[in-house]
Amino acid sequence: MKKYLFLFILLLTSISKISADDITFVIQAPASTVKGAQLQLQYVLKGGEGSSIEIPDEIKGFDILYGPSISQMYSSSNVNGKVTSESNITYTYLLQAKEEGTFTLPVATVKVGGKNYKSNSKQIKVLPPDKNAQPTQPGQRVEATTSSSTVDNVSSSDIFVRIIPSKTRFKEQEAVTVTFRLYSTLDIMYLSDAKFPEFEGFMTEEFDLSRNQQIGMEHYQGRNYYAVDFKKTLLFPQRSGKISIPSGTVEAVIRVPSGRKVNTFFGPQEVMTETKKVMRTNPLVLDVSALPIENKPLNFSGGVGNFTFTPTITSEKVKANDAVTIKLEIKGTGNLKLIKNPEVKFPKDIETYDPVVKNDFKITESGLSGTKTIEYMFIPRYQGKYAIPPIEFSYFDTRSNSYKTVSSPAYNLDVDKDPNAGQNVSTSYSNQRNVEVEQDIRYLKTGGFSFSDQQSFFAGSFTYWVWYIIPFILFVVFFIVYRKQIKANSDIALMRTKKANKVATKRLKLAKQYLQSGKNDNFYEEILRAVWGYLSDKLTIPVAELNRENIEAELLKYGIDEALIRQFIDILDTGEFARYAPSGGGEAMDKLYNDTVDAIGKMESTIKKINK
């Protein structure tokens, strides 16, 4: 009986422990707000029922207007006969920002089942109000600046894109982050086209930005904007001097007032409409200084950043024909991918192999952070003692702004005789060694001989004239073909039409690669580029001027049937919707890819029939 009672108590203890592990208590609040604005501060308890909540009576930078209001939600599900339930309790406070600056929202404490749980803390940035904003009334919400732009007059100060470098003066090979940030006071539907500038003179690495990142607020030039980063690139300059990054363009579809009002049950309402806005990014000039020549080591690896160097060897006492590995681990942050392998000076009688390099790093704003591992494997073939001198690693340290050299210890190999090798056993390495030493041996040429008549001459023979005539004929043919090609290339519209299918096929191949590797955003972007570019080339209409209406009208003039036109329009709608909304998964992407290939194929077949 005592045994069963003990097992029952142990079971209850395990269940309570599991339940306790499932309890979470987190804070939810916006990342930024405006002075004078009201906001909700929520503490969410999951997995338990709290008996009380405690927070400080005062929160620095804010007035507590109301709270807490408590809301509770229960949910349950039955999957394959397994019933699970979940309870959420939300404690909501209404705050009003009264000071500018960055403040920390306090940790709250809640009691669940006699045990106290603490929430996390969170920072919130309070921005100054707009310089032209009207004074707010008590209880009035404060948001980003509203715009008076209409469909005919979208102000460049209401929506624009900035290229923001993490720094403008830095050294060659030193990492710098460039961020493309969108600012807007308007309702953005989606970004339809982006042409980013080329980073000539830089090695680049792209950050993987989440599509679901939170849109924050930022105070810029006296106004508050909704801001979001849509592209971030890590740059490593490959040369010194002032390097210019040209402007790029980003096209957005936005909702703005049309200038018309309609009467509704709630009174006159402004009619909204969609319009395109092409934004040009600001050009940049980055000042890249060369690495100092003074005290530059002769064996400089090209590394720029902050690194540690850890060398190891598997063993210094081995037998002949045993493999030995020297592993060099370079760890830190900087241009890890561009670091040259440190040189290892092996003795002559050691057989060596090409090093194996393994890179394990992630992209950060300070550079590539992680580890580069270089493994040198070698085999001593003969008994004896061998010395491997210290292996040096030299790099430029950005913290101390100076060169640093670290090295391994000298390795002294004690190689014993191979017990498995007989006196007459030869290896491939020993054969190579013998050939190298015995250079006095020369092989005799064997086989038959061929003779020629002394009275016969190549000059003036038939073969002699053929070698002159054939190049002349080839030159004439090449000249005629070349002239025809120049004439054809001069017709730009015709060339674009001819190459439309070829360009679209290349983009579809790239989209297929993105599909197979699971890069959904890149897949949809490449599908849209393929279709927009194909229709632009076929209809000889710039992409910026293309829209669904003139596509339909021009294709009808071309003689394309309405079913195929509808298929193209559906592809564009599906691709653009999927880029800014959750996609339907792999099957939907496969279907979109197959529909695109089918539509372009049908278009090409129809055009061939029309041209016959």
Q: What is the pLDDT of residue 489?
A: 54
Q: What is the pLDDT of residue 286?
A: 93
List b or e across 196-225, with b for residues whose CB sees 16 or more CB atoms inside 10 angstroms: ebebebbeebeeeeeeeeeebbbbeeebbb
Q: What is the pLDDT of residue 508?
A: 85
Token pair in block for residue 551? 């596509």
Handedness of CA 595, 598, 602, 603 (dihedral sign): positive
Q: What is the pLDDT of residue 481?
A: 82
Please check whether residue 91 is in contact with residue 29, taking contact to mean a CB–CB distance below 8 angstroms.
no
Please name each of the domains of the chain with its CATH number: 24-127 (2.60.40.740), 159-288 (2.60.40), 307-416 (2.60.40.740), 492-611 (1.20.120)
What is the C-alpha to C-alpha distance for residues 377 and 309, in angstroms, rounded to an integer?
A: 18
Token pair in block for residue 494? 């015709």
Q: What is the pLDDT of residue 402?
A: 94
What is the C-alpha to C-alpha distance for residues 101 and 99, in angstroms, rounded to an integer?
A: 7
What is the C-alpha to C-alpha distance for residues 240 and 329, in angstroms, rounded to an integer?
A: 29
DSSP output for 382-445: SSEEEEEPPPEEEEEETTTTEEEEEEPPPEEEEEEP-TT--TT---HHHHHHHHHH-TT--PPP
Q: What is the pLDDT of residue 355?
A: 94
Q: What is the pLDDT of residue 450?
A: 64
What is the C-alpha to C-alpha distance for residues 227 and 218, in angstroms, rounded to an integer?
A: 6
Q: Residue for token digits 């060369």?
A: 290
**DSSP state letter for 166:** S
**Phi-psi sector, 98: left (phi>0), alpha (psi -120 to 50), beta:** alpha
Beta bridge partners of 102: 125
Q: What is the pLDDT of residue 330?
A: 96
Q: What is the pLDDT of residue 274?
A: 82
What is the C-alpha to C-alpha distance for residues 231 and 209, in angstroms, rounded to an integer?
A: 7
Q: What is the pLDDT of residue 76?
A: 67
What is the C-alpha to C-alpha distance for residues 235 and 206, in angstroms, rounded to an integer?
A: 9
What is the C-alpha to C-alpha distance for residues 170 and 367, in angstroms, rounded to an integer?
A: 13
- Name the helix (H) or strand (E) containing 223: strand 223-237
What is the C-alpha to C-alpha distance for residues 260 and 150, in angstroms, rounded to an integer?
A: 10
- The rounded average pLDDT for each run of 10 residues, N- to C-terminus, in the chain (612 residues) is 48 43 80 86 78 78 84 71 72 87 86 80 86 51 55 78 92 93 86 84 89 80 88 92 90 82 75 84 92 92 95 94 94 94 90 93 92 95 92 95 94 90 50 46 58 62 78 85 66 61 82 82 82 80 75 80 83 74 67 85 80 66
HSE of 470, CA atoms in CB hemisphere, 13 A = 6
Q: What is the pLDDT of residue 498?
A: 67
